[in-house]
Chain A
């Protein structure tokens, strides 16, 4: 992670390899992309993340040249791509369905782009071998696509695109067609591959785990616009809106009012948590009296056995950052357990707890009354 962040910073010093400038795309009366501006730096593994219909795929297809922006311009390496057709752009794409040509064998598929460029036969042969070795498909060169597994087809698509030595490689939901185990393995392989070839990768995905695991920087998209742009940890720990907080990971959300906002302390009253309130050891966005939302991740909540007094939270005044409720349900996930705690207000709280010992799950049972607490640094205060 630190290494990725470092690379991202290095990249920021250069000029962008991709620039979207005020891109608008309308299909009939529907606006798919709504005034997006975005710079992507050389060497990044960039992810466009969002739910289906958020405009992420449209953005990628405009980069490849398959869709024409209604307004705005796309620049690749400083050049406006305005009228440039897809076959003249210095980018290549790995399609969601992989789009491996079914009537050509693996080697012919990979060689296709070079044949079009009219390269000499010897060079094509050498580069095909090199590309196939890169994705570990060397022995399967003579196979037809229908004799390949899904993962192998994806490697063909990767080799076919990379052999053209594009300035940017575009990946449209690259892992969505694979089964869960393979998906995990391919995440790792994709980032390895990107480091090896040193090309900028731009990936579209709806899977937040995937984006967090692979990308060096992510743009979260919502309703055609960029909701937040940042590194994976930025997005997870410092979401800018309820949408981002909710879309990335799971979160407990409370509506409340900012009743005290000092330089190094803030207090928020949430009706669902009454009679207790939320205390922060730093200032909050917004001014006193503002309506805000408090978001807390399930793994940042602690469970305590029932007692007459609320547990003490370090660096926090008493009766703050605590809540009392009843365990309504426990989902045992193996490595951790999710406890659904119902507060007296009726709100359900999700608390995640690692199963560090083999008997950990026996500590709390269904129907137990428990205390929940959290550190002052855990909540995120959101205005929208």
Chain B
């Protein structure tokens, strides 16, 4: 009797639990299978033949794949830095100032979030082939410039959105208090506003890093033969066949993403508790 759920405890009803279990099975079983079979000592991906790290060894000896991985990380890193600066500036602009055409600029800044990836990819393809042809023989990492520019264009509006949401909760009296106590505009910004924005900046950084690392469609249209990123490389491998090596490569990327997620959660918890 004591275990009978109250009327609104829907999550404790067994059909509901079954449903949840089913949904999570649907979401996770493919991923877990993928990870498990990256350690399977068999070319065929279906029967377990014993544990091996062979495919990871092969992966690390695969120069093309490693270069693609390095490209992806470099692009994500540079994209994150640029997006953070541009996104924070955009957020402050929209939060702080009132000016003509503000609505237009605000709308335009949210466009990259909603425009279909394929359209954005096509636009970048046209831009970098017809207007500003990006030389493909530049020394690394300058050769990645076109991809980085494309990534920043769709990443920094996300950062702006996150930072702006955070700024909305800022109590302007804090800044006035700093000014009242003798701080200049710049000092008040540095000492009061930036610390307030910090959790959003961290979240925005991780968001743009993951978005950049994950992007396939837009990169697919901007990358040349010498500037292959990890997802583009995996795409060409997937088209070819399902192999444990692809599983191993995917597992590495999943682990990286989950680690980043965990970092962000920790950061948020820390900022929530303080």
A residues near B (Cβ < 8 Å) are 26, 65-71, 82-83, 85-86
Least CB distance, B4 to chain A, in whole angstroms:
5
Size of B's binding interface in residues, CB under 8 A: 7
Q: B8 interface residue, CB < 8 Å from A? A: yes
A68 touches B1 (CB 8 A): yes
User: In the assembly, what is the distance between CA of A69 and CA of B1, in Å?
Assistant: 8
In the complex, which residues of chain B have a beta carbon less than 8 angstroms from the beta carbon of A82? 1
A66 touches B2 (CB 8 A): no
User: In the assembly, what is the distance between CA of A40 and CA of B2, in Å?
Assistant: 24
User: In the assembly, what is the distance between CA of A68 and CA of B4, in Å?
Assistant: 7
Please pick, from B2, B5, B7, the residue contacting A71 in the complex, using a CB distance under 8 A.
B2
B8 touches A66 (CB 8 A): yes
Least CB distance, B159 to chain A, in whole angstroms:
35
Least CB distance, A161 to chain B, in whole angstroms:
17
Instruction: Say what secondary structure dominates the interface of chain A.
Output: loop
User: In the assembly, what is the distance between CA of A83 and CA of B7, in Å?
Assistant: 11
In the complex, which residues of chain A have a beta carbon less than 8 angstroms from the beta carbon of B7? 65-66, 85-86
Least CB distance, A370 to chain B, in whole angstroms:
47
**Chain B stretch 1-20: residues in CB contact (< 8 A) with chain A:** 1-2, 4-8
In the complex, which residues of chain A have a beta carbon less than 8 angstroms from the beta carbon of B2? 26, 68-71
User: In the assembly, what is the distance between CA of A66 and CA of B5, in Å?
Assistant: 10
Besides A66-B7, A68-B4, A85-B7, 13 other CB < 8 A contacts?
A: A26-B2, A65-B7, A66-B6, A66-B8, A68-B5, A68-B6, A69-B1, A70-B1, A70-B2, A71-B1, A71-B2, A83-B4, A86-B7
User: In the assembly, what is the distance between CA of A85 and CA of B6, in Å?
Assistant: 9
User: In the assembly, what is the distance between CA of A70 and CA of B5, in Å?
Assistant: 11
A-B contact pairs, 11 of them (CB 8 A): A66-B6, A66-B7, A66-B8, A68-B1, A68-B2, A68-B5, A68-B6, A69-B2, A70-B2, A82-B1, A83-B4
Least CB distance, B2 to chain A, in whole angstroms:
4
In the complex, which residues of chain B have a beta carbon less than 8 angstroms from the beta carbon of A83? 4
In the complex, which residues of chain B have a beta carbon less than 8 angstroms from the beta carbon of A71? 1-2
User: In the assembly, what is the distance between CA of A124 and CA of B228, in Å?
Assistant: 71
In the complex, which residues of chain B have a beta carbon less than 8 angstroms from the beta carbon of A26? 2
User: In the assembly, what is the distance between CA of A344 and CA of B1, in Å?
Assistant: 59
User: In the assembly, what is the distance between CA of A197 and CA of B184, in Å?
Assistant: 67
Least CB distance, A79 to chain B, in whole angstroms:
17
User: In the assembly, what is the distance between CA of A67 and CA of B1, in Å?
Assistant: 12
